[in-house]
């Protein structure tokens, strides 16, 4: 399968790793939108949030468990934002579900 994030998970494409466990990988976004910008992905290929079901939804929980650990190790005490873009209108550009974890600046709300 021709999936950019599967290739990063397999090590075929290099990335700057932030966190890894049995279920998820987090690496630095190549085009950071904040002083800290990680991409957290489940290692299993899931195309988007539309593909989440009762069998794989635990992986979303694993992503958030990883985020809490990253917040601690990266000293993100001031807070952070997690974003999932889904589909064309959602602004998803890579077809492997991923969660942007951004910190180090104040974010606007509602998001534009």
The least distance separating ligand 5GP from the CB of residue 93, rounded to whole angstroms, comes to 4
For residue 27, is it left (φ>0), alpha (ψ between -120 and 50) or beta?
beta
Q: Does 6 bind Zn ion (CB under 5 A)?
A: yes
Query: What phi and psi values does residue 108 have, to the nearest 5 degrees?
Result: -80, 155
The answer to whether 2 contacts ligand 5GP (rule: CB under 6 A) is: no
Least separation in angstroms between residue 7's CB and ligand 5GP is 9
93 binds ligand 5GP, rule: CB under 6 A = yes
Tell how far CA 72 is from the center of its chain: 16
- Residue 112 as a binder of ligand 5GP (CB under 6 A): the answer is no
């Amino acid at each position: 399968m021709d999936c950019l994030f599967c290739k990063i998970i397999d090590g075929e494409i290099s990335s700057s790793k932030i966190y890894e466990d049995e279920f998820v990988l987090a690496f630095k976004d190549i085009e950071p939108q904040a002083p800290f910008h990680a991409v957290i992905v489940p290692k299993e290929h899931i195309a988007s949030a539309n593909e989440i079901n009762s069998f794989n939804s635990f992986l979303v929980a694993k992503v958030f468990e990883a985020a809490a650990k990253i917040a601690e190790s990266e000293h993100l005490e001031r807070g952070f934002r997690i974003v999932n873009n889904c589909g064309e209108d959602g602004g998803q550009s890579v077809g492997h579900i991923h969660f942007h974890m951004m910190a180090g600046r104040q974010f606007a709300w509602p998001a534009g």
